[in-house]
Structure 1
């Protein structure tokens, strides 16, 4: 397994910990309104799920715009913690399939974005972005939980590494 695949496994592990932790709290906590970047924890998770989908579709060769246009399928899960979690699980399987098929993650490819133009990049760089994006928003969730009077849960990469040693 290469470093990017391990980082993606960390991303999966950290998201799973967030879902488990949020489900262990009072049932209404995920939809409770907060004054933050997002209006609720479910909204953050919904955004993360959609973003992981967009980037997977882009990695698989779809245009960035086609990937965004495909998001209508997600509207039925908005605000539903377990449905969002199930969608993440499905995406994780699709990312594993991507890793199986894409042997060279340093292979160059181009992305066109209507506002930013063309980006010549690699699969590994986009994977790094996906992982960083998730880390950023898990931090948002921790801040929101504290605002709502609950503790967060550790999802730092070092906890993941220590967990591998056990």
Structure 2
């Protein structure tokens, strides 16, 4: 049996082509809306992850380029209920550091990262990264944001490649 390539009508739907699956049975091309949904879920959304990951990676690299490593003293710990679970008592902790400016004045800045573990005690000193052009937010040493950005790029890129392959196989 051969597939027809011209348009045929079946139960009010136009079928533009059919294909044979691995068992030799005819497969119909998915409708337009199914193809749009597949495109959004498996191409557009992964590409969005690539864009977000790229922006996060670039922002982190620019910050690390401008930032200076200094020692900050924990002066406060902000304790808030975790946004992941409003119905239970799970808290996250965000340290506030006090650190010297190059001119000798002292500033305060919140850590950019929060944690479910209370890793800091008030009065303890830790190495931090500070951009003195915007000292309100400080970063503790580590590459968490960079790792997350690169992972978004990689996973989004792989998913988009498979999604594009699926979409083009339906055309």
Same fold (TM over 0.5): no
Of structures 1 and 2, the one with the larger relative CO (CA 8 A, separation 6+) is 1
Point out the structure with max Rg over C-alpha.
2
TM-score (norm 2): 0.28
More helix by proportion, 1 or 2? Answer: 1
More strand by proportion, 1 or 2? Answer: 2
